[in-house]
Amino acid sequence: MSTLTHIEASGDARMVDVSDKAQTSRVGVAEGLVLMLPETLDLVLSGDAKKGDVLGTARIAGIMAAKKTHDLIPLCHPLPITSVKVVLTPDRALPGIRVVATVKVTGQTGVEMEALTAVSVACLTVYDMVKAADRAMRIEGIRLLEKSGGKSGHYRAGTDAP
């Protein structure tokens, strides 16, 4: 395991200096699940939720969250994100919604945190919009699926030991 780059020798937190890093194409992909009752999933899919279009609203919330990650996570750099895609897929086998976010940038640092933040906020938005129907919903499995670009290279979940 490499050393933590956000910690000074003294133990103080710091924002990493990326000014000497090359600008490269970078991608981060993350996922999360919102588990719910089958009836709640039916409500989401019917479009009859009292608060409106659950999936559309959660998609926009995820996109906005990716763009605001540096405002939410203290040591993240503000990045000139070039693309954010948030896909919410209903899954009756769960039952629930699978959320996948893909974020791209050409820059000096990665976009893993932006992808994870997009997924987290999209999942929270789904919960918020239908919590009156199902307070027992669970948000689970938020994780990085893949990242590419930069010095550390390519990572895909399941190809490295935990």
Residues with catalytic function = 128
User: DSSP characters for 59-73?
Assistant: HHHHHHHHHTHHHHS
Residue 48's identity, in one-letter code, is: D
Query: For 11, which DSSP code?
Result: S
Pairing of strands 96-107, 138-148: unpaired
Query: What is the CB neighbour count within 10 angstroms for residue 90?
Result: 14
Largest pairwise CA distance in the chain: 55
